[in-house]
Structure 1
Amino acid sequence: MTNPLIDLLAEKGVLLADGATGTNLFNMGLMSGEPPEFWNTDKPENILTLYRGAVNAGSDLFLTNSFGANASRLKLHNAQKRAHELSRVAAELAREVADTAGRKVLVAGSVGPTGEIMEPVGPLTHASAVEMFHETADGLKAGGADIGWLETISAPEEYRAAAEGFALAGLPWVGTMSFDTAGRTMMGMTSAGMVDMVDEMDNKPLAFGANCGTGASDLLRTVLGFAAKGSAVPIVAKGNAGIPKYVEGHIHYDGTPELMATYAIMARNCGAQIIGGCCGTMPSHLEKMREALDTTPKGSTPDLEEIVAALGAFSSQSDGTDGEGPTRAPRRGRRRS
């Protein structure tokens, strides 16, 4: 099976993804609690600016502004019937930017969690989840997305439901989870468990990995966990730009462009082939990441001490795979910011 993502990976070896959506849009005036997806139709120039920021910084692919474009999340704003429309327009705007980039750039249709807890723990049925993911994926495909991009998932059941939704839409996909609870996802999935899940799936993602979480160090420890399993599926690393800090009423991430450049090199050395940023990652970070990946030869796999020395301490002693990582009570999924 061929696909633009697989072809570009074969050509370049390592791809640079994009950075944050929320952080960039908040800097443009998005208010807390305001659905970013509404800007696809209300303020399209702002969304084009978001996309161009990543492309101009050197990203090989970028995600659409559709993280919360599913019926469950949009229902909070009485807009559940707009899921397909907002997903489609997000991809159409992205297609415009990608097609005028002057080089090969891929559009990845962002799909976030439903925000609900699936059965048997919560009320969301598998069939309902598949239906919602299918609707969003179909909208992204209609708008011209090259691939779907599932992100910030905590529950394996939701990951599998999304896989079915992408299959129904006929959209190849990439899927990441957020390992932010002592090396595990909120619902207890470990890096090793994710590899096992992906390898057993019928509709496998083109690539899998981790995004968001608690910091660059933790994310790279998770990537090492993926790589240790030896899966043939390419690995994605999309870490936050440092640690969030509350300053003068706003959240700021303390990761400098130079730190994110170091993270990008180390992510590649850990085994990731698609590398980007998540919360707090701006075009200035991506520019340094691009430069670092282009000018620094691939090195040896770093050990945990080297990761800590370069990027800071881990948030927990355990990576979750030793049986020591705790599970936390479920809560609603976060927006990629």
Structure 2
Amino acid sequence: MPDPLSQLMADRDWLLADGATGTNLLNMGLSSDEAPELWNADHPEKVRALYQSSVDAGVDLFLTNTFGGNASRLKLRGAAGRVGELNRISAELARDVADKAGRKVVVAGNIGPTGEIMAPMGSLTNDAAVEMFHEQAEALKAGGADILWVETISSEEEFRAAAEAADLSSMPWCGMMSFDTAGRTLMGLTPGHLAALVERLPNPPIAYGANCGVGAADLLRAINGLVASGNERPLIAKGNAGIPRMEHGHLHYDGTPELMARYAVLARDLGVKIIGGCCGTTSAHLQAMRAALESEPVGDRPTLEGITAALGTLDSQAD
């Protein structure tokens, strides 16, 4: 049987994914020195409320609160031994919310980078990375996640390790990189590199794309590069709600719901299948995005000039 996400993609022209996790939890009282994943056990009612707000906004897919839920990142908070517990609880909360939605909503088990640099440039070996990702994947699977959602990856080595862990877990997965450095990842990869990489994997993702980075225009520049590669695998776009600015000691994203609605339509017209938001994206943004996707007719594939005219100038120029 196809996985729930593949079934939805087969039936729909586009799907709406959720928005931010960390920045929304900060707005709900999470302190900047707390690991969001600890709230799965300590404040499950708030994590559940975040999930519910996404479902109420009309998403077809939302992520678990487990982006930093691997042993390497949790070790920094003295919680390396709680990987299984925290990931499982988060997925269980998400599963319950999704099952009560009254429609098909996909639970995506969120897996972010380890936070370490992989060999040969760093000290993290492939085996160690696979072990960390696999531990997280198994807990998300046990909690009821439908798919694994690997995002914000910068290196080919870490992307491959996450793919291997998904294979060991027998879980369908999606994979995204963040092109936040003049159109490249922090490790220098281009969208074209990612487009070629996914097809060389023994277990390619069911969809792939770009997330986070800088502004929405830069995110769509990366998507444009994926489209230009000729790879026809379903695409994902999950861009930040504008650019972060410090205001009165707090981080504020300047992207309005209207801007994110324009971004969503442009992403759809580029051929993106799964459209969502990342940092700074609230339920108000998601509601505007869904309304625009449902009401505005499909247009011609936008050019980079058309994207910047609609969303603003690029934050960084590609080299």
- 1:234 partnered with 2:234: yes
- 1:292 partnered with 2:292: yes
What corresponds to 2:205 in structure 1?
205
Q: Mark the runs of 5 or more structure 1 residues left unpaired by the alignment.
A: 319-324, 326-337
The 5-angstrom pairing of residues 246-325 of structure 1 reads 246-318=246-318, 325=319
What secondary structure is seen at the aligned counterpart in 2 of 1:269? helix
What corresponds to 1:330 in structure 2?
none
Q: Return the offset for 1:261.
A: 0.3
Deviation per CA, 1:242-270: give whole Å up to 9, x if none.
11111010110000001000000000111
Return the alpha-carbon distance in structure 1 between the equivalents of residues 205 and 90 of structure 2.
22
CA contact (8 A) 1:217 1:314 kept: yes
CA contact (8 A) 1:137 1:169 kept: yes
One-letter amino acid matched to 2:191:
S
What corresponds to 1:138 in structure 2?
138
Return the alpha-carbon distance in structure 1 between the equivalents of residues 127 and 305 of structure 2.
45
What corresponds to 2:174 in structure 1?
174
Return the alpha-carbon distance in structure 1 between the equivalents of residues 296 and 89 of structure 2.
38
One-letter amino acid matched to 1:153:
I
Q: Return the offset for 1:7.
A: 0.6
Q: Return the offset for 1:317.
A: 2.6
- 1:69 partnered with 2:69: yes
Return the alpha-carbon distance in structure 1 between the equivalents of residues 126 and 33 of structure 2.
28
One-letter amino acid matched to 2:103:
R
Give the TM-score normalised by the residue count of structure 1: 0.94
The 5-angstrom pairing of residues 212-231 of structure 1 reads 212-231=212-231
Q: Return the offset for 1:27.
A: 0.7
What secondary structure is seen at the aligned counterpart in 2 of 1:267? helix
Return the alpha-carbon distance in structure 2 between the equivalents of residues 317 and 150 of structure 1.
26
Return the alpha-carbon distance in structure 1 between the equivalents of residues 84 and 203 of structure 2.
22
Q: Return the offset for 1:232.
A: 2.3
What corresponds to 1:34 in structure 2?
34
What secondary structure is seen at the aligned counterpart in 1 of 2:166? helix
Q: What is the aligned-residue RMSD (CA, Å)?
A: 0.8
CA contact (8 A) 1:223 1:271 kept: no
Give the TM-score normalised by the residue count of structure 2: 0.99
Deviating above 4 A after TM superposition, structure 1's stretches of 4 or more consecutive aligned residues are none
What secondary structure is seen at the aligned counterpart in 2 of 1:47? helix
What secondary structure is seen at the aligned counterpart in 2 of 1:77? coil
What corresponds to 2:165 in structure 1?
165
What secondary structure is seen at the aligned counterpart in 1 of 2:276? strand
What corresponds to 1:104 in structure 2?
104
Q: Paired residues, what number? A: 319
One-letter amino acid matched to 1:282:
T
- 1:156 partnered with 2:160: no
One-letter amino acid matched to 1:148:
L
Return the alpha-carbon distance in structure 1 between the equivalents of residues 188 and 9 of structure 2.
31
What corresponds to 1:80 in structure 2?
80
Return the alpha-carbon distance in structure 2 between the equivalents of residues 88 and 278 of structure 1.
23
Q: Return the offset for 1:156.
A: 1.0
Amino-acid identity (%): 61
Return the alpha-carbon distance in structure 1 between the equivalents of residues 84 and 162 of structure 2.
15
CA contact (8 A) 1:224 1:271 kept: no
What secondary structure is seen at the aligned counterpart in 2 of 1:114? coil
One-letter amino acid matched to 1:77:
R
What corresponds to 2:186 in structure 1?
186
What corresponds to 2:21 in structure 1?
21
Return the alpha-carbon distance in structure 2 between the equivalents of residues 307 and 182 of structure 1.
17
